Amino acid sequence: MRIARRALKKGRIELIPLIDTILMLLIFYMTFGKLVKDELKLDAVLPIIQESAADTDAFTAMNVEVVGKGKLIVNDEEQDLSVFAGTLEGLSLVADTVSVSIKGRDSVFYQEVIDVLNLCAKSGIKNISFVSE
């Protein structure tokens, strides 16, 4: 007596789960892609190595320490961001070359340092350096 064998099923690729997965990924990236905030452009010139030459232009250096939200210590004087913005505007008009050294305290958020960088960029100051402890 002969036993009947089961018919072999041919393997096939299921397309419905593949399409579902692709659509879920598409919806995910379309949803969260809009939440990404574009970073502000900072036109800051980083120092480069070059031969030193005698500079006869007026040169002014400012030491800025970011203390807290909107609070700065500029050349050992406490100032707000609005006062500092006016100082930068006036200084950039008077002096040929203005240099700003920025130091942030450990408790300060990065955004507060970026606010100072934005003020420097608005004033046209491109010689910016960071001070670390």
DSSP letters spanning 20-70: HHHHHHHHHHHHHHTTPPPPPP---BPP---------S-EEEEEEEEEETT
Q: Say which CATH number the domain at 111 has.
A: 3.30.420.270
Residues 6 or more apart whose CB falls under 8 angstroms from that of 122 comprise 85, 88
Does a structural domain hold residue 124? yes
The residue segments making up the domain with residue 75 are: 59-130
Rounded to two decimals, what is the model's pTM?
A: 0.54
Rounded to whole angstroms, the Cα distance separating 68 from 116 reads 12
Please give the tally of structural domains in the chain.
1
Rounded to whole angstroms, the Cα distance separating 112 from 93 reads 25
Does a structural domain hold residue 5? no
The pLDDT tens digits along the chain (133 residues) read: 688 888 888 878 889 999 999 999 999 988 877 666 555 556 667 677 766 555 544 457 888 899 888 889 888 889 888 888 888 888 877 777 888 888 888 888 888 888 888 888 888 888 888 888 7
Does a structural domain hold residue 8? no
Does a structural domain hold residue 100? yes
